Structure 1
Amino acid sequence: MRPVFALILFLVAGSLFAQREYNNGWGGVFRSKVKGNGELVKQERNIDDFTGVKACCSLNVELRQGSYSVEVEAESNLQEYIKVERRGRTLEIGFERNTNIKTTKPITVYVTLPDLEYVGASSSAKMTGKSSFRGDDLELDVSSSGAIYLDFSGDEIEADASSGGKIEVSGSVSFMDCDASSGSKIHAGDCKAKRARADVSSGAGVTVYASEEVDAEASSGGSVRYRGNPGAVDSDTSSGGSVRSGN
Structure 2
Amino acid sequence: MKIAVMGGTGLIGSQVVKFLGDAGHEAVPHSPSTGVDLISGEGLAAALEGAGAVVNLTNSPTFDEASIEWFRTSMDNLLAAAAEAGVGHAVVLSIVGVDQVPDLDYYRAKVLQEEVLKAGPVPYSIVRSTQFFEFVPAVMSWTSDEHTVRLPDTRVQPIASEDIARAVADATAGAPLRGTRDVAGPEVFTLDELGRITLEAKGDKRNVVVDDTAGMFAAVKGDALIAGPDAVLSSLTYREWLAR
Higher Cα Rg: structure 1 or 2?
1
Greater fraction strand: 1
Q: Give TM-score, length-normalised by structure 1.
A: 0.26
Greater fraction helix: 2
Which gives a bigger RCO, structure 1 or 2 (Cα 8 Å, sep 6+)?
2
Q: Give TM-score, length-normalised by structure 2.
A: 0.26
